[in-house]
Structure 1
Amino acid sequence: MLYGCIPETELKSTGFELIQGITNTLRGFKLITENLSGSYATMGDLFVQVISLLLSLADSDDPIFSGIKSIRLTVRDELKRRMDGLENNDIVLIPTFLDPSFKEKYFSSKYIYEEVRRKVADAVQNLDLEIRNVESNEVVPVSKH
């Protein structure tokens, strides 16, 4: 449809390749959007799919994507910069583990999964100890009579 709106003199082969590259890039996002809107999926379920899609697009050597290479490189570099340390970040790992829709596949290795499981178990045990300490140190209010 977009191609039909542009006069022939304005659309050269490189322009068509750029449109084709953008269309192919957006196709994956369209599928993810359909999955999110058409089911009970949560963003947590789709987060891994989105990151995987972006990284695969950024690393693709397909000539169709040549017109948007600088965009892909920027996306790849920014994703790597922002996401590389996520598996070391307890603020991300523990909620992912505790999420009711949790799946082991969200962790890249069994070691990381076991480490998060240990951290959650330790946190629960420490919380239990703190509650017991508070209960044993409670002060009984003195009546004013």
Structure 2
Amino acid sequence: MRSAAGEERAIRQPTDMCVPRIMEFRDSQYLFMIELKDIEKLAELSRINVSGEEKQAFLKDIESILNYVDQIKTVAGEADMTMSRQETELANVFREDKDCRDLGRFTEALIESAPEKENGYIKVKKIL
């Protein structure tokens, strides 16, 4: 594929995308790992220049984020397993719906106070 400037550009394939790989499956959890080439790919896609030191720092940060998310998933899974039916049983605490208005109470007084009326309705000017 050629760009507007006439230079040759490679078409990216779906396998060329940056995706964390599954390192191993342990205790019903997937452990993800990210590599330096993934950081380089992210920098390229973001169109930012990243030095070698920054790449290492980003690698450590992203790994700690992935580990933190894994811990949250583990705790959330344990919490779901410990809940009993009694804790999750819900009951309706709302009042029963009923019409508490006194319909027609002010209708006659309102119609009588209108300047023009016709067949029990308030007559207004046509707007359309």
> Relative contact order, CA 8 A, sep 6+: which one is greater?
1
With normalisation by structure 2, the TM-score equals: 0.36
Q: Which has the higher strand share?
A: 2
If the length of structure 1 is used for normalisation, what is the TM-score?
0.32
